[in-house]
Structure 1
Amino acid sequence: MKILKVNTDVAISGGEPQMVEKPRAEWSNEDKKKANLDNVGKDILYKMLDKNMFSNIKTCSTAKEIWEKLTQLCKENDQTKENKLTVAIQMFDNAKMKLGETMTEFDERFSNIICELIALGKYILIVKLL
């Protein structure tokens, strides 16, 4: 966590003041609380992650960086899920018995497609015609 202060060594030329990192010796009680909140946030995030996810964020230095990285990873997971769903729907739509395939084999293959769709949150109503 970087605590910043206005750089008084540089003249402000019609824009926003230039900010520099405040030395730890100059931190106020409020600055210390902010820095501690970042540590608390990181601690909570670390405790909620498994080893695989932790390896993706271990280089992040602030809770905000960790959160942004996790958000990015989850977006990628949503895209992956959407791609898997598209493939599973295509497999469902094109499901036909193969030449030489038994009913048992077809039923198992078709059941696997249905299980994949359900796992991806897609429920398909199948009407049995008699």
Structure 2
Amino acid sequence: MQAHLAAQDDDMWYVIIDGSMKIMKVSTDKTLTNGAPEMKEKPKYEWTAEDKRKVNLGNVAKDILYKTLDKNIFSKIKSCSTAKEIWKKLTQLCEGNDQTKENKLMVAIQMFESINMRLRVTMTEFDE
């Protein structure tokens, strides 16, 4: 259980730092020149429950980031459409000397990491 939660946290940070996940699969008709199989995007009708969870992480990350911000900061990032955009805007807003930046980001990270969602809780229930 702990390993699954750690992997989910890693996936969440990936979405925040690198952007939304693309669900990929091995192409059955192509290989790369080094002999490795080529990857292609997996069609939605083939997605597993885990694939759907990973795709939804962007929405979950956005929601968590929104919940950790005060009204003043929220008003400055509410037009962002992805968790990556929100994070980029937050890092721009937190500019200052290196110590100030680090302190502000540490507080934001601690607030983000302190939010926990129980298993089998819907987003609506979590939002209440």
TM-score where L is the length of structure 1 = 0.42
Question: Which structure has the highest strand share of the two?
Answer: 2
Larger of the two Rg values belongs to structure: 1
